[in-house]
Amino acid sequence: MSKPTWTNPVVRWIDYRLPVFTFANEQLIEYPTPKNLNYWWNFGSLAGIVLVIMIATGIFLAMHYTPHVSLAFASVERIMRDVNYGWLIRYIHMNGASFFFICVYIHLFRGLYYGSYKSPRELLWIIGVLIILTMMATAFMGYVLPWGQMSFWGATVITNLFSAIPVVGQSIVSWLWGGFSVDNPTLNRFFSLHYLLPFIIFALVFLHLWALHAHHSSNPVGIDMKGPQDSIPFHPYYTVKDAFGLGVLMLVLLGFVFFAPNFFGEPDNYIEANPLVTPTHIVPEWYLLPFYAILRAIPNKLLGVIAMFGSILILVLVPWLDTSRVRSARFRPVYRVFFWVFLLDCIVLGYVGANPPEGYFITVGQLATFWYFFHFVIVLPLVGWLERPRPLPDSISASVMAGKGKEAGHA
Q: Which residues are catalytic, by number?
A: 213, 217, 241-242, 285
Among 160, 239, 366, 395, binds other proteins (CB under 8 A): 160
Question: What does 175 interact with, of other proteins, ligand HEM, none (CB < 5 to 8 A by kind)?
Answer: other proteins
Q: Which does 157 bind (CB under 5 to 8 A by kind): ligand HEM, other proteins, none?
A: other proteins
**Residues binding ligand HEM (CB under 6 A):** 51, 54-55, 58-59, 61-62, 65, 76, 90, 93-94, 97, 100, 135, 138-139, 142-143, 145-146, 194-195, 198, 201
Interface with other proteins in residues 201-240 (CB under 8 A): none
Find the shortest distance in angstroms from Cβ 70 to ligand HEM: 16
89 vs 173 by CB, closer to ligand HEM? 89
Contact mark string toward other proteins, 262..291, x via CB under 8 A: -------------xxxx-xxx---------
Picked from other proteins, ligand HEM, none, the partner binding residue 93 (CB below 5 to 8 A depending on kind) is: ligand HEM
Give the nearer residue to ligand HEM in terms of CB position, either 289 or 297: 289
**Cβ density class 44-63: b for 16+ within 10 Å, e for less:** bbbbbbbbebbeebbebbee
Q: Which is nearer to other proteins, 32 or 304 (CB)?
A: 304
Q: Which is nearer to other proteins, 106 or 172 (CB)?
A: 172
For other proteins, the closer of residues 123 and 282 by Cβ is: 282
CB-facing half-sphere around the CA of 291: CA atoms within 13 A: 19
What does 97 bind: ligand HEM, other proteins, none (CB cut-off 5 to 8 Å by kind)?
ligand HEM
CB burial string 360-375: b at 16+ within 10 A, e below: ebeebbbebbebbeeb
**Stretch 351-380 residues interacting with other proteins (CB under 8 A):** 356-358
When CB distances are held under 5 to 8 angstroms depending on the partner's kind, the choice from ligand HEM, other proteins, none that residue 198 binds is ligand HEM
Handedness of CA 77, 100, 344, 298 (dihedral sign): negative
Tally of residues, the chain: 411
Give 362 or 398: the residue with its C-beta nearer to other proteins. 362
* Contact (CB, 8 A) for 329 and 339: yes
Q: Which residues of 82-102 are buried (b: 16+ CB within 10 A; e: fewer)?
A: ebeebebbbbbbbbbbbbbbb
Residues sharing a CB contact under 8 Å with residue 115, sequence separation 6 or more, in sequence order: 218, 222, 322, 324, 326, 327, 328, 329
Shortest Cβ distance from residue 219 to ligand HEM (Å)?
A: 28
CB under 8 Å to 127, separation ≥6 — which residues?
Answer: 204, 207, 208, 211
Question: Minimum Å distance from CB 267 to other proteins?
Answer: 17
Report how far apart, in Å, the C-alpha atoms of 65 and of each of 25, 76, 106, 156 are.
41, 6, 32, 22
Tell me how far apart the alpha carbons of residues 112 and 339 are, in angstroms, rounded to a whole number: 8
Residue 374's SS3 state is: helix
**Closest C-alpha among 37, 136, 31, 97 to residue 407:** 37
Judged by beta carbon distances under 5 to 8 A according to partner kind, the member of ligand HEM, other proteins, none in contact with residue 222 is none
> Of 14, 161, 317, 354, which lies in the binding site for other proteins, with binding defined by CB under 8 A?
161
Is the CB of 89 or the CB of 349 nearer to ligand HEM? 89
Work out what residue 356 binds among other proteins, ligand HEM, none; the CB cut-off runs from 5 to 8 Å by kind: other proteins
Q: How far is the CB of 291 from ligand HEM (least distance, A)?
A: 16
The Cα 21–Cα 24 span in angstroms is 5
Contact with other proteins (CB under 8 A) among 79, 176, 288, 318 = 176
Q: Does 196 bind other proteins (CB under 8 A)?
A: no
Cβ neighbors of 377 (< 8 A, separation 6 or more) are 314, 321
Whether the Cβ atoms of residue 327 and residue 220 lie closer than 8 Å to each other: no
Give the residue, chosen from 5, 84, 180, 251, that forms a contact with other proteins under the rule CB under 8 A. 180
Non-local (6+) Cβ contacts of 271 within 8 A are 148, 149
SS3 of 399, please? helix
Q: Which residues contact 249 (CB under 8 A, 6 or more apart)?
A: 46, 49, 50, 99, 103
Question: Measured from the CB atom, is 6 or 202 closer to ligand HEM?
Answer: 202
DSSP state of 393: P
Query: With CB cut-offs between 5 and 8 Å by kind, which of ligand HEM, other proteins, none does residue 281 bind?
Result: other proteins
Residue from 397, 402, 403, 405 nearest 36 by CA: 397
Query: Rule CB under 8 A: which residues touch other proteins?
Result: 153, 156-161, 163-164, 174-181, 183, 185, 189, 275-278, 280-282, 296, 299-302, 304, 356-358
